[in-house]
Amino acid sequence: MSDTAGLHEDEDRATLARRGPGRQAAGAGRAVGGDVLRRGGTSGDGRGANGRGRWTNFLNRADGRDLRTGYLMVAPVALVVVAVNALTNLADIAKVATWEPWVWEGTSALAIVGLALWIPWLATAAASPEDALAQGWRPKLRFAAVHLTALLAYSGLHVAGFVWLRKLAYAAMGAETYVFGDRFIYELRKDLISYAVFVGLFWLIGVLRRRRDEPVRPVSFDIRDGGRIIRAPLSQIVAVSSAGNYVEFWLADGRRPLMRATLAAIEVELERFGFVRAHRSWLVNAGAVTGLRPDGSGDWTVELGALEAPVSRRYPQALERLRTSG
C-alpha cells in the first residue's frame, strides 16, 4: 500500500504535541455511550471532497487504456461495415458512380473513429450506466444531461467530419460539389444508435479492466501517526473522518490515530476495499455497518457499532451500498 507523500513536517508534529491527547481536530466525531457528536467539516477538506475528490474519481474512470482498447475493437468492425454497406448501395442504387458508396461509407467511418469516438468514452467516464441506476432523481438527471450533451457533440463532430471529407473526395474525383442538405436529424437518429453502442462498449471495457487491475486485498493499512507507523487491519478501521489538514482513523479498539492527508487521498486508497464516501467529511467501512436510520430531509445516520456517522443525501450511491452491506 502506497503512503501519502509529505506527511508530518516538524511544525505539524509540534501542532499535534500542543493539541495533546485529549483534544480532537475539527470535523471529527466522538463516540460517547453510543452517541456521536458530529461537527462540520473544515472548508479545506470540503474543497478536497467536492473538487479534487470528484476529479480523482473521474480521472480514475477515464483511463486512456479503455480508449485505446475501444479503437482496437471498433476499427476492424468499421472496415467490415464500410464494405458491406458500400456493396449494398452499389447493388441497390442504379445510377451511382462506383466510387461514391465507398466515399460515403468510408468518410462516415473515418469521422467516427478518427474524430468522434473519444466523446462517448469521456461521457461514460463522467456518467456511467451504473449512475443511472442510483437511488434518487439527481443521478438520473445528471446521467441524462451528460449523455444528451455528449450525443449532440458526437453527432455534430461526426457529420461535420464526413461532410468535409466528402467535399474533398468529390473535388479530387472531379465531380460536382458534395451537398449535405438538411439531413442532420436523419443522421442524429442513426448516431443515437452507434453512440449507445459505444457507451455500452466503453462501460464494459472499463469494468473488465478494473477487475483485471484489482489488487489482492491487503491485510492492513499503514497509518503514519506522527513519527510512528500504525499497521491497522482493514477490518479494524471502522471509519475515517476529516480533521483539518489531517484525517482521523476510527479503529475498532477505540484508538483514533491522526495522519496528515486529505480525505480524498485516503478515499482513493481505500474505496476498492469496501470503504464508502458517505459525507464530505466521512469515509466509512461498509463491512462494519450495524444499522442505518433516517434523520429527515433525505439524510441518514450509519451505525458502526458504538460509532455513528452521517450519510448525506448528496451521496445517494453511498446510501445504496451501505444498505446492501449492512
Per-residue pLDDT of the chain (326 residues; tens, 9 = 90+): 434 333 333 334 334 333 343 333 333 443 433 333 333 333 334 444 444 545 555 656 788 999 999 999 999 999 999 999 999 999 998 888 999 999 999 999 999 999 999 999 999 999 988 877 776 788 889 999 999 999 999 999 999 999 999 999 999 999 999 999 989 999 999 999 999 999 999 999 998 988 887 666 567 899 998 889 999 999 999 999 999 899 999 999 999 999 999 999 999 889 888 899 999 999 999 999 999 999 888 899 999 999 999 999 888 888 888 888 75
Q: Are 74 and 113 spatial neighbours (Cβ–Cβ below 8 Å)?
A: yes
Spatial CA neighbour of 288 closest among 217, 248, 241, 234: 234
Distance, in Å, from the CA atom of 234 to the CA atom of 253, rounded to the nearest integer, reads 13
Confidence (pLDDT) at 317: 84
Residue 218: predicted pLDDT: 63
Integer-rounded Cα radius of gyration of the chain: 27
Residues paired with residue 258 on neighbouring β-strands, in sequence order: 248
> What pLDDT does 215 receive?
61
What are the C-alpha distances in Å from 4 to residues 26, 47, 180, 204, 247?
21, 18, 56, 31, 12
Q: Can you give the pLDDT at residue 40? A: 37
Q: What is the pLDDT, as a whole number, of residue 7?
A: 35
pLDDT per residue as tens digits for the range 101-157: 999 999 999 999 999 999 999 999 999 888 777 767 888 899 999 999 999 999 999
- Helix, strand or coil for residue 112? helix
pLDDT at residue 3, rounded to an integer? 40
For residue 223, CA distances in Å to 85, 246, 271, 274 come to 60, 12, 16, 18
Identify the pLDDT of residue 217. 58
- pLDDT at position 26 is 36
CA dist., res. 260 & res. 191, Å (int): 49
Q: 302 by DSSP, 3-state: which?
A: strand
pLDDT reported for residue 56? 53
DSSP string for 151-207: HHHHHHHHHHHHHHHHHHHHHHTT-PPP---S-HHHHHHHHHHHHHHHHHHHHHHHH
